[in-house]
């Protein structure tokens, strides 16, 4: 046997990195301390989950996180019998909690498939049995035999039966079905042979094959030659597992062609350990024990029918009971802490500052039912918590987010966890557990006094003595562990001599050099460095300033209204001025156009006058405008000598200057027509021959054109100017008689 253990090897394991699941194939009955699974990394932190605690007596984790077998023998047949795994494929799941970091936790599953070894030999319940058989039984009569039992599975279970001896003296042959059957292949004759000794051998499929045997004695009897006949070859019935005990579940019927006692049939079940019993007269079958689908899902019962003849004739039939699952098991809820420890009390401590998506505890639910009856969904009564599915029927309890737990509002929360399966009708289990909330420093200091206000604290400069207490802070902190000691800091703009004591007294130590508004910002700190800030405006003023300020505030309304009125008037004046300016600009532009046209006509007239003079010397009077304003004109008169012209004397006696009279008449005519722009025309006002050869310039400020109130007044003023002009010319002529004829003077009026 030891050699077999060394030959056994652990099959290649498959690891699914995506699903975090490993599959391992092992053989049953491995020696103790056999390495089953070597951890992927020595840094893995694997802990057993409650769902896998049952396997801790078969496997253990060493310090290197490797999985080994214990001293407990792994018996596949025992696992199958206890329903720990399926008999067809013995698969067990080892669930571990794998922690990479505080916020990175996953479930690691190791699937172990236990392969069978040929460690059981076939065996019969009875080593020796007897069958009384009448000599007149027909050929092909069948005698059902007891099947051998082999706890191994698959190919290692029973594979073949053999009947010994196999010779011509044996009238029976073996028919291999699900159960071995003896079949008579020729007639019997009690006078030749009254009994037969046979041996039934059962073989399994192991290498080498193991076997078990049973001795059979067949006794040939006489007389009764008809056996009971069942109406079916095999009987089958499906019964729910919650079928009531002592209820009728089926009825068997058999008939006998004999008469009398030889035809009276009785029914019986030889195995008294089965779950049902039969009425020997009617063949009705009643349930004797309760059924459990999770323990055994089918039963095969051999029922015997015999007559009362001599010898008694028997017949056998198989009755198969299929147990159907009923949702009759409530879910079983297990709570485990984050470290994998099973919680024996339903209470956990939760800091109120616990971040979300961090496991609080683990929930594993088991249900002994199968299929949908074993699938479970769980719900909570508090939306602040959420259940994260880790694997089938396994959850992680986490904080969902908003709203969070607040110690100041509640110190304890009762959580109602309800797990319901998917069966019909659905069964559920409810668990109540308490969450004790622990306080965290999550509340800043609350300033009770002074109250926040936009009004400033008024201090009179003359009547306030320093040091002066500005305010006394009253602070409250809602956190439980906070003491009544707080730290303070402040800043003030502009600078002010202040002090703030440790108990929150704000003191003005001395008066500032200047009065005005001072802003004090005070910050309060708790032991956890959470802060709160308040702004205190302080207005330090003289008493006189205060009185003036009050009077000013009373007049504010009237001053504002008066200011608005003046602004409106000022805007209206600006608008009117702009309108006048635009009108003047348009008028000035039109005046320039008219002056240019008249200057051209005046020049043409002057040229014609000069041609009539016919002399190289003459006197020319020219008028030029100094500015656009009619009151600021400069009249320039050029006086030139003319040899053939007489000079007008001051007494008004005109000699021969016809051009002068003509131009004076033209000027007066234009004044009558109120043309104020004619003073720009060159040579318009007249010309006269003078005897002077030089030009002399004299500047005279004339009367403003704006002072001419009427055409008559304008006419007299013009005559006066010309008389003054020619008087000056006459005096210059007499003073310069000996001057060269080429000289000239210019006179400006």
Whole-angstrom distance, CA of residue 355 vs CA of residue 359: 10
User: Which pLDDT belongs to residue 618?
Assistant: 37
User: Which pLDDT belongs to residue 621?
Assistant: 41
Burial of 443 (0-12, 13-18, 19+ CB in 10 A): buried
Q: Cβ of 330: how many Cβ atoms within 10 Å?
A: 18
H/E element, 566 = helix 543-613
User: Which pLDDT belongs to residue 612?
Assistant: 46
Task: Give the closest residue to 314 by CA, choosing from 269, 277, 251, 274.
Answer: 269
User: Which pLDDT belongs to residue 713?
Assistant: 64
Q: What is the mean pLDDT of each run of 10 residues along the chain (749 residues)?
A: 36 48 83 78 71 85 81 82 80 82 80 81 87 85 85 78 80 83 86 85 85 89 80 93 91 87 89 86 92 88 90 90 86 85 79 80 86 87 86 86 75 89 87 84 83 85 86 82 78 88 87 87 84 88 66 67 89 92 88 75 54 40 39 37 38 44 56 43 38 37 40 64 72 58 39
Sign, Cα dihedral of 182, 183, 185, 190? positive
User: Which pLDDT belongs to residue 574?
Assistant: 93
User: Which pLDDT belongs to residue 301?
Assistant: 92
Task: Give the closest residue to 220 by CA, choosing from 196, 194, 197, 198.
Answer: 194
- Per-residue pLDDT reduced to its tens digit, 340-356: 788 777 788 888 777 77
- Per-residue pLDDT reduced to its tens digit, 400-437: 876 677 777 888 888 899 999 888 888 888 888 888 88
Q: Cβ of 101: how many Cβ atoms within 10 Å?
A: 7
Answer for the pair 316, 131: CB distance below 8 angstroms, yes or no.
no
User: Which pLDDT belongs to residue 735?
Assistant: 65
* Domains of the chain, CATH where assigned: 10-115 (2.60.40.60), 128-221 (2.60.40.60), 231-324 (2.60.40.60), 332-438 (2.60.40.60), 446-541 (2.60.40.10)
User: Which pLDDT belongs to residue 16?
Assistant: 46
Q: Is the peptide bond before 392 cis (omega within 30 degrees of 0)?
A: no
Sign, Cα dihedral of 120, 125, 129, 135? negative
Name every residue whose Cβ is closer than 8 Å to that of residue 152 and which is 6 or more positions away in sequence: 77, 116, 117, 118, 119, 120, 204, 206
Q: Quick check: pTM over 0.85?
A: no
């Amino acid at each position: 046997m030891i050699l077999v253990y060394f030959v056994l090897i652990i099959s290649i394991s498959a690891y699914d990195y995506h699903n975090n699941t490993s599959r391992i194939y092992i053989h049953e009955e491995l020696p103790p301390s056999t390495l089953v699974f070597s951890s992927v990394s020595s840094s893995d932190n694997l802990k057993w989950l409650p769902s896998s605690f049952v396997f801790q007596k078969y496997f253990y984790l060493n310090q290197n996180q490797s999985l080994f077998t214990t001293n407990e023998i792994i018996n596949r047949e025992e696992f199958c019998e206890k329903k720990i795994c399926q008999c067809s494929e013995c698969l067990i799941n080892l669930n571990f909690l794998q922690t990479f970091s505080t916020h990175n936790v996953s479930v690691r599953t190791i699937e172990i498939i236990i392969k069978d070894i040929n460690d059981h030999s076939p065996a019969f319940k009875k080593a020796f049995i007897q069958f009384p058989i009448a000599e007149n039984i027909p050929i092909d009569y069948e005698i059902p035999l007891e099947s051998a039992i082999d706890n191994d599975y698959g190919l290692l279970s029973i594979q073949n039966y053999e009947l010994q001896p196999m010779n011509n003296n044996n009238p029976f042959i073996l028919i291999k079905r699900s159960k071995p059957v003896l079949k008579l292949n020729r007639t019997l004759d009690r006078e030749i042979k009254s009994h037969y000794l046979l041996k039934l051998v059962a073989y399994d499929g192991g290498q080498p094959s193991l076997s078990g045997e049973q001795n059979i004695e067949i006794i040939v009897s006489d007389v009764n030659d008809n056996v009971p006949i069942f109406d079916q070859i095999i009987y089958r019935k499906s019964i729910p597992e919650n079928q009531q005990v002592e209820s009728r579940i089926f009825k068997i019927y058999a008939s006998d062609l004999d008469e009398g006692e030889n035809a009276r049939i009785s029914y019986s079940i030889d195995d008294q350990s089965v779950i049902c019993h039969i009425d020997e007269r009617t063949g009705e079958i009643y349930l004797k024990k309760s059924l459990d689908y999770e323990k055994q899902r089918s039963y095969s019962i051999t029922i015997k029918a015999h007559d009362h003849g001599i010898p008694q004739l028997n017949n056998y039939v198989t009755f198969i009971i299929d147990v159907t699952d009923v949702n009759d098991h409530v879910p079983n809820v297990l709570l485990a802490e984050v470290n994998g420890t099973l919680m024996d009390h339903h209470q956990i401590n939760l800091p109120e500052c616990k971040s979300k998506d961090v496991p609080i505890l683990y929930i594993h639910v088991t249900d002994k039912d199968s299929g949908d009856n074993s699938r479970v969904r769980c719900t909570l009564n508090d939306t602040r918590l959420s259940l994260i599915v880790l694997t089938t029927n396994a959850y992680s309890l986490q904080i969902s987010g908003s709203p969070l737990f607040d110690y100041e509002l509640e110190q304890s929360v009762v959580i109602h966890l309800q797990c319901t399966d998917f069966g019909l009708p659905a069964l559920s289990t409810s668990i109540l557990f308490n969450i004790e909330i622990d306080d965290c420093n999550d509340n800043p200091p609350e300033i009770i006094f002074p109250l926040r206000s936009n009004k400033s604290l008024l201090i009179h400069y003359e009547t306030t003595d320093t040091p002066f207490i500005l305010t006394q802070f009253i602070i409250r902190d809602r956190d439980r562990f906070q003491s009544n000691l707080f730290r303070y800091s402040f800043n003030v703009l502009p600078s002010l001599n202040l002090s703030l004591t440790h108990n929150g007294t704000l003191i003005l130590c001395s008066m500032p050099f200047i009065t005005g508004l001072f802003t004090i910002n005070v910050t309060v700190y708790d032991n956890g460095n959470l802060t709160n800030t308040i702004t205190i405006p302080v207005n330090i003023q003289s008493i006189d300033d205060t009185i003036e300020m009050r009077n000013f505030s009373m007049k504010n309304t009237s001053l504002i209204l008066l200011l608005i009125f003046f602004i409106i008037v000022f805007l209206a004046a600006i608008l009117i001025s702009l309108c006048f300016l635009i009108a003047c600009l348009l008028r000035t532009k039109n005046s320039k156009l008219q002056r240019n046209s008249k200057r051209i006509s005046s020049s043409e007239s002057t040229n014609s006058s000069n041609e009539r003079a016919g002399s190289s010397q003459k006197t020319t009077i020219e008028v030029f405008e100094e500015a656009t304003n009619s009151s600021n004109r400069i009249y320039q008169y050029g006086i030139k000598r003319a040899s053939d012209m007489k000079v007008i004397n001051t007494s008004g006696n005109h000699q021969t200057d016809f051009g002068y009279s003509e131009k004076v008449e033209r000027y007066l005519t234009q004044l009558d027509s109120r043309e104020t722009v004619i003073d720009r025309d060159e040579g318009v006002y007249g010309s006269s021959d003078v005897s002077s050869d030089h030009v002399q310039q004299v500047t005279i400020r004339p009367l403003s054109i704006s002072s001419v109130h009427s055409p008559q007044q304008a006419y007299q003023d013009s005559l006066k100017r010309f008389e003054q002009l020619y008087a000056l010319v006459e005096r210059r002529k007499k003073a310069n008689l000996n001057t060269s004829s080429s000289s000239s003077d210019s006179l400006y009026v």
